[in-house]
Structure 1
Amino acid sequence: MARPPARPAGEKSTREQILDVAQELFATVGYEKTSLREIAERMNFSKAALYYHFASKDDLLLALHLRLHELGRDALAGLDLDALAGAAPDAASPGDWLRLFDEVIDLLLDNRILVVFHLRNHDALERLHDNEQHRRAHAATQDLEDRLRRLLADPRVPMARRLRLSAALGAVGAGLLMSAEALADVPTDELRAELRVIVRNLLGADGRSRPTAPNASTAPSAPMPALGRG
């Protein structure tokens, strides 16, 4: 039997196009308020054709949830996460941390609508906890988070470096969350540039934490201001 003609390079499959439509509707209208009929109408085909690719709305929910995990896995594939996350605290090259932050910033800003989908459908996503694919994806994410926590708690890593890494992680996380809501009107490239500046200001231009100020550990502390006094 003759094979169907191959898709032109860069052209999305029908399945990916359905996911794009569902992603937009779930992010803007919400999972609970979106029907399969609406998704099918956006695709200009019948519900039966939609069921050929996804048996239920929950299947769409799972596929979109896994999409972000898969994008993250691919984005971080070329980084030495063991060196970064504490298996060898001094093994990371000067630019490794900057590359990690840049990859995370690019990943989430290039997929802002997918981030919005996750933020606005938390309750619906809770129903996926018993799904085996979800558990595997969550375990991979949890492993990375655990390694980062070990680094930030590792006494072999200078305190100033751990503090600056924590601050950079917090700044990027907050900025990316705000990009989905409060900063939704700001162009992606502007957010990307500003977040990269923030990271470099915190870590130094080469990704190393900046040195502690001279004698900072021995300088006398300023007295705490008294509270509740006029």
Structure 2
Amino acid sequence: MSTPQARRGNTRQRIQDVALALFSEQGYDKTSLREIAERLEVTKAALYYHFKTKEDIVISLFQDATGPIDELITWANGQPRTLQTKQELIRRYSESLRSAEPLFRFMQENQATVRDLSIGERFKEQMLTLFGLLKEPDAELSDQVRCLTALFSMHAGMFAMQNVEGDPEEKRKAILEVATELVTAANPPSRRPARPDSAQTASP
């Protein structure tokens, strides 16, 4: 039997899912709280218990999506700056985007709203932090472009690949493969930090 807390959590997620679906179908500005409540088949009072405004719903979605990214950044900061760490960072970031695809679609289609709510600034800060973790401090400009492209290809790929035939999981893997190749190319062996044990391993 589910607890009241679990039921409240499920209702909150249902509201988020339905709101995002309506925002995508008819636009953020043209969607009202009343329509969200009707689609959920609940009263507006029940909806107000969780969210007072549409803005509150969008902000909650961003908070839920940015939490895993913060955890990923914390993890990466505790790892050695090796190519393997950067490749794993990209892989984990790809995983974190799985459930956030509808939110990124909303961001793409409602850029003015994202700016007005100032929620895009937080996401921008996270992207700059991830960028700094992927590139070397003295990276050449072309390698910096590769690292930025690796990140944003994962976002753009979710939209661009919608009209490409194929299994969604296979398309996600293809996007990850390309992003990983870009990160690898941006960190050639000659520019990677020497491993602490390199002197030992080089001896016969």
Give the distance between the partners of 1:106 and 1:79, measured in 2 at CA. 14
Query: Residue 125 of structure 2: which of 142, 145, 162 is its match?
Result: 142
Give the distance between the partners of 1:80 and 1:37, measured in 2 at CA. 43
SS at match of 2:75: coil
Deviations 1:116-143, CA, capped at 9 Å, x for gaps: 01111221223323xxxx59x81x8526
Q: 1:67 to 1:45 in 2, by over 3 A?
A: same
SS at match of 1:31: coil
* TM-score for the superposition, normalised by structure 1: 0.65
Give the conservation status (yes or no) of the 8 Å contact 1:22–1:39.
yes
- For 1:198, the equivalent position in structure 2 comes to 178
SS at match of 1:69: helix
Structure 1 residue 189 and structure 2 residue 169: aligned? yes
Deviations 1:84-136, CA, capped at 9 Å, x for gaps: xxxxxxx324421011111222222432111101111221223323xxxx59x
Structure 1 residue 56 and structure 2 residue 39: aligned? no
Q: CA RMSD in A?
A: 3.5
Give the distance between the partners of 1:179 and 1:6, measured in 2 at CA. 36
Q: 1:82 Cα deviation (Å)?
A: 6.4
SS at match of 1:192: helix
Structure 1 residue 176 and structure 2 residue 172: aligned? no
- For 2:25, the equivalent position in structure 1 comes to 28
Structure 1 residues without counterparts, runs of 5 or longer = 84-90, 213-230
Q: 1:66 to 1:8 in 2, by over 3 A?
A: closer
Q: 1:26 Cα deviation (Å)?
A: 1.4
Deviations 1:62-81, CA, capped at 9 Å, x for gaps: 2223232224224x156223
- Percent of residue pairs identical: 26
Q: 1:55 Cα deviation (Å)?
A: 1.2
Corresponding letter in the other structure for 2:67: E
Q: 1:21 Cα deviation (Å)?
A: 0.8
- For 1:88, the equivalent position in structure 2 comes to none
- For 2:145, the equivalent position in structure 1 comes to 166
In terms of fraction of residues, the more helix-rich structure is 2
Q: 1:165 Cα deviation (Å)?
A: 5.7
Query: Residue 81 of structure 1: which of 77, 81, 87 is its match?
Result: 77
Rg (Cα) greater in structure: 1
- For 2:199, the equivalent position in structure 1 comes to none
Q: 1:45 to 1:116 in 2, by over 3 A?
A: same
Corresponding letter in the other structure for 2:47: L
Q: 1:7 Cα deviation (Å)?
A: 6.3
Give the distance between the partners of 1:149 and 1:115, measured in 2 at CA. 22
Give the distance between the partners of 1:195 and 1:11, measured in 2 at CA. 36
1:44-123, aligned counterparts within 5 Å? 44-74=41-71, 76=72, 79-81=75-77, 91-123=80-112
Q: 1:185 Cα deviation (Å)?
A: 3.7
